[in-house]
Structure 1
Amino acid sequence: MNPALTDLWPIFGLRVRLGDLELRPVRDDDLPDLVALVLDGIHDKDRMPFSMPWTDAPPDELPANYLRHYWEVRGRTTPGRWSIDLVVRRDGEVVGVQGVSTQDFLVTRTGETGSWLGQRFQGQGIGTRMRQAMCVLAFDHLGFEEVTSAAFLDNPASLAVSRKVGYVPNGDVRMKRRPEECAVNRGLLLTPEAFRRPDAPVEVEGAAAVRRFLGIDAGADG
């Protein structure tokens, strides 16, 4: 019998549930829905919430760029450097992506969260809950000792989500955001002690296999 895809790539076996939200690793079958959501709009065109302005790409180039990004992330996944990007669904409908990335995790036990949410789903509390779900996965199931994030000062919605979850400011940096545009990016830090957990329980499946795959703890349960 041939092995299942989740046996070959255990990250695909992750499942995180929080109320009406379900988070699963991005697969190729998810990419058309995600591209459609991106093209429908993540932010106003006169704003740029991302340090890498990937949404500025022409509409005819953006889909291929987006696919290349996820294929590249998978291709470079090793215990020394990895990212887990989860497609977020509310009641089965794709609403965005929540991820965490890290380098030298076995030594540092830290990583950075990042996310995006379709514009029509913003302002409904989804961003806070999907970040909380990711932080439960990180702290309780993957062995993180801290989690970082960042947002530009002119992105109050993202900063508000971080504040609600328990992140604290961790330094400001002036950086190039778009050609000839400088913006201040605020670093943020979250520890397990400061983490403000969601009111509802978070269910996680498949974490033990991911820990073994990434060399975190071959004997972990989850």
Structure 2
Amino acid sequence: MTDPASYWPPFGLTLATPRLILRPIRDADIPAAVSAALSGVHAPGRSPFTRPWAEAPAHELGPNMAQWYWRCRATMTPEAWTLLLGIWHEDEFIGCQDVEAKDFGTLRTVSTGSWLRLSAQGQGLGKEMRAAVAAYAFDYLGADIAESEAAAWNGASLGVSRSLGYEINGVTRANWGGTLQDVQKVRLTPATFKRPDWTLHVDGHEPTAKYLGI
């Protein structure tokens, strides 16, 4: 059988930390991703996302997630791309960490977002997966800046940012799932990055970078 990475190179990318495996979500992974999301991602009515996707009814959530994964793959170009990395812990799918960029060749800037199933939260895994993509962005992609944001009330996400060396980068107002929210922006550079005490292991970078025009 033909390896999917032979026609879509990012499928060959793998990032490994001491506890996690991060790799692009394939169609065969979608049922596990949907199951993880259906198990719960946040407290009811307390969505930490700009669009409350995880609150969709069960019969809509799966199709919505699949369409999002397919759309990100189909529209990926060197000018605008999103890597949707599934997260595996002890062979269980536990969430997603995305890395995206626009005009990366000029701006050398990426932004990140993520989610974890409730059963995987509170164990430091969110910090570990963010550290992984920050290290990948700086050390392999050659990024100068990694940006993120969180609702001002989201202490958990902002705590991860602080622990990794992100600096406050302004507050904006946004329509957050139909509700007005103050949104805290944060910014990380190679100089401020508080690197973990482990080494990121990467496979499949060169074909992926070539595909992204890097």
Q: Same fold (TM over 0.5)?
A: yes
Aligned residue for 2:57, secondary structure, equals coil
Post-superposition Cα deviations, 1:122-157, rounded to whole Å, max 9, x if no partner, equal 010000000001111111011111100000011110
Aligned residue for 1:163, secondary structure, equals helix
Q: Compute the displacement of 1:60 (Å).
A: 1.3
Q: Compute the displacement of 1:3 (Å).
A: 5.5
TM-score under structure 1 length normalisation: 0.93
Q: Compute the displacement of 1:162 (Å).
A: 0.8
Pairing of 1:1-222 with structure 2 (within 5 A):
4-179=3-178, 181-216=179-214
Aligned residue for 2:35, secondary structure, equals helix
Give the aligned residue type for 1:24. Answer: R
Segment drifting more, 93-102 vs 122-131: 93-102
Q: Compute the displacement of 1:54 (Å).
A: 1.2
Aligned residue for 2:38, secondary structure, equals helix
Aligned residue for 1:157, secondary structure, equals helix
Taking the aligned partners of 1:197 and 1:59, their CA distance within structure 2 comes to: 38
Aligned residue for 1:123, secondary structure, equals coil
Q: Compute the displacement of 1:96 (Å).
A: 0.8
Taking the aligned partners of 2:168 and 2:90, their CA distance within structure 1 comes to: 33
Large movers: runs of 4+ above 3 Å: none
**What fraction of aligned residue pairs are identical, expressed as a percent?**
40
Could you list the runs of 5+ residues in structure 1 that have no partner in the other structure?
Answer: 217-222
Post-superposition Cα deviations, 1:5-32, rounded to whole Å, max 9, x if no partner, equal 2121110111111102111111111110
Aligned residue for 2:81, secondary structure, equals strand
* Contact preservation (8 Å) 2:13, 2:23: yes
Taking the aligned partners of 1:64 and 1:154, their CA distance within structure 2 comes to: 30
Segment drifting more, 47-56 vs 69-78: 47-56
Cα RMSD of the aligned pairs, angstroms, is 1.1
Taking the aligned partners of 1:37 and 1:197, their CA distance within structure 2 comes to: 29
Give the aligned residue type for 2:161. Answer: S
* Contact preservation (8 Å) 2:16, 2:200: yes
Could you list the runs of 5+ residues in structure 2 that have no partner in the other structure?
Answer: none
Taking the aligned partners of 1:16 and 1:73, their CA distance within structure 2 comes to: 19
Taking the aligned partners of 1:90 and 1:62, their CA distance within structure 2 comes to: 23
Q: Compute the displacement of 1:62 (Å).
A: 1.1
Aligned residue for 1:60, secondary structure, equals helix
Q: Compute the displacement of 1:99 (Å).
A: 1.1
Taking the aligned partners of 2:140 and 2:177, their CA distance within structure 1 comes to: 37
Count the aligned residue pairs.
214
Aligned residue for 2:194, secondary structure, equals coil
Post-superposition Cα deviations, 1:60-86, rounded to whole Å, max 9, x if no partner, equal 111101100000000000111101111
Aligned residue for 2:198, secondary structure, equals coil
Q: Compute the displacement of 1:56 (Å).
A: 2.4
Q: Compute the displacement of 1:188 (Å).
A: 0.6
